[in-house]
Chain A
């Protein structure tokens, strides 16, 4: 037998981990070399022995316990995740609910004689749809005034003196709504303002009653809602 022995490759050969050509040439060598054949048998026996499925020392109860522990951990972490998100959801929901309530409440009162929310003339020009960047350009102050003028259906004097009125800090939930009384009423804008619990955040809507063009691309220094 002159062909070189293949003992070094037998470990991989036993597990079928060599390229097909090499597997075949080793097999051919084994057929004619008793020494390599004996070594190959030892490898094959050892490999098939290690591959024989063996018992795991874990009872059903132990395995169930592992699963239960894992599921408990997962539920706990999911709960704490939910706990982190819930306050934000609740806050958002309560703000929305408060806004809707205020809106409904004030709409009702507006229709009666004792409407507290002022309806004021705001825009002299139908083209300038921007909402009451009024005389002093300060929405806060202007709408403070709008809110305070409560005589309904009277000709309102134009707000000219607003700069002299100090800006008040709005109470949370403060709500103001304005509509023009002018002849161009149909082309003007209603402004709805809502003070959130955070004094730095106020939500303002501009609602246009008809189809005239509106450009609200914010020269306001407040955030529109």
Chain B
């Protein structure tokens, strides 16, 4: 055990990076290995990191912001921010959770900009202006479109904080602790937001989905 600790110390020095305490050396995930490659100067490895994480980043950005164009811009910003602050990531932690936090922070900035009028004020009907399903992937079925669109409509009924909490906890699989950390709030606050968000989603389902083919309940 002592020896293992020494080994960890050695690797910390060799890599010159912060490794989360207790992270077993040799069991670094693929993402962690790519992070180390980027830190060693192989910037191209970041492209692989993006390939692995883009669904999460785009998913959070799209569901929180509700607008595909903004979601693309926010994702780009999130990746750039992640690249610049890659040294703050502790190898051995969950990189997915880390990049999720980075994305949440970028989205929060976008939402703030909206509030301050730099962008169109939060539009309760912004889903109406979403591109029609035809402009999405051609092979996607109508039901899938309907499902995705209804989800966005349900999320639009939430406040930004409730939406963020619900997206992270229920849609991105963050734990309550991870959600609280990403949003910089206490776990109790997150539970209250999630509880409120689920209540609103339930009402949405009861009112809307029964009339819709895409709805299940």
- In the assembled complex, B39 has its CB within 8 A of some CB on chain A: no
Interface centre among B43, B195, B196, B204 (most CB of A within 10 A): B195
- In the assembled complex, B202 has its CB within 8 A of some CB on chain A: yes
Query: Which residues of B170-217 are within 8 A (CB) of A?
Result: 170-171, 176, 191, 194-196, 198-199, 201-202, 204-206, 209, 215-217
* Contact between chains at B202 and A46 (CB < 8 Å): yes
Residues of chain B lying within 8 A (CB to CB) of residue A43: 198, 202
Knowing A12-B195, A55-B136, A63-B58, say if A49 contacts B216 (CB, 8 Å).
Answer: yes
- Nearest CB on B from A162, distance (A): 51
Smallest CB-CB separation from A47: which chain B residue?
B198
Which of these binds chain A: B2-10, B17-25, B144-152?
B144-152
CA distance A14 to B76 in the complex (A): 35
Which of these binds chain A: B44-52, B105-113, B116-124?
B44-52
Cβ contact of B216, chosen from A45, A56, A67, cutoff 8 A: A45
Smallest CB-CB separation from B196: which chain A residue?
A11
- In the assembled complex, A50 has its CB within 8 A of some CB on chain B: yes
- Nearest CB on A from B216, distance (A): 5
**Chain B, interface size: which category?**
35 or more
- In the assembled complex, B83 has its CB within 8 A of some CB on chain A: yes
Cβ contact of A51, chosen from B83, B130, B171, cutoff 8 A: B171
* Contact between chains at B136 and A51 (CB < 8 Å): no
* Contact between chains at B80 and A73 (CB < 8 Å): yes
* Contact between chains at B170 and A47 (CB < 8 Å): yes
Knowing A58-B72, A66-B72, say if A15 contacts B43 (CB, 8 Å).
Answer: no
Knowing A11-B195, A15-B170, A55-B148, say if A71 contacts B46 (CB, 8 Å).
Answer: yes
Contact with A along B43-84 (1 / 0, CB 8 A): 110110011001100110010000010011001100110010
- Nearest CB on A from B74, distance (A): 10
- In the assembled complex, A54 has its CB within 8 A of some CB on chain B: yes
Cβ contact of B198, chosen from A14, A57, A70, cutoff 8 A: A14
- In the assembled complex, A75 has its CB within 8 A of some CB on chain B: yes
- Nearest CB on A from B172, distance (A): 10
| Chain A interface SS verdict (over half) | helix
Residues of chain B lying within 8 A (CB to CB) of residue A46: 198, 201-202, 204-205, 217
Query: Which residues of A1-53 are within 8 A (CB) of B?
Result: 11-12, 14-15, 17, 42-43, 45-47, 49-52
Residues of chain A lying within 8 A (CB to CB) of residue B62: 56-58
Cβ contact of A11, chosen from B59, B194, B209, cutoff 8 A: B194
CA distance A45 to B14 in the complex (A): 51
Q: How many A residues, CB 8 Å from partner?
A: 31
Cβ contact of B170, chosen from A51, A59, A62, A63, cutoff 8 A: A51
Smallest CB-CB separation from B79: which chain A residue?
A70
- In the assembled complex, B129 has its CB within 8 A of some CB on chain A: no
Residues of chain B lying within 8 A (CB to CB) of residue A74: 43, 46, 80, 83
Residues of chain A lying within 8 A (CB to CB) of residue B202: 11, 42-43, 45-46
- In the assembled complex, A215 has its CB within 8 A of some CB on chain B: no
- In the assembled complex, B140 has its CB within 8 A of some CB on chain A: yes
- In the assembled complex, A69 has its CB within 8 A of some CB on chain B: yes
* Contact between chains at B147 and A55 (CB < 8 Å): yes
B interface residues with partner A (beta carbon < 8 Å) = 43-44, 46-47, 50-51, 54-55, 58-59, 62, 68, 71-72, 75-76, 79-80, 83, 130-131, 136-137, 140, 144-145, 147-148, 151, 154, 166, 169-171, 176, 191, 194-196, 198-199, 201-202, 204-206, 209, 215-217
25 of the cross-chain contacts (CB-CB < 8 Å) are A11-B196, A11-B202, A12-B194, A12-B195, A14-B198, A17-B176, A42-B202, A43-B198, A46-B198, A46-B217, A47-B198, A47-B201, A49-B201, A50-B154, A52-B216, A54-B151, A55-B147, A58-B68, A66-B50, A69-B76, A70-B46, A70-B83, A71-B43, A74-B43, A78-B43
Known: A47-B198, A49-B205, A56-B62; 4 extra A-B contacts, CB below 8 A, are A51-B170, A57-B62, A70-B50, A70-B83
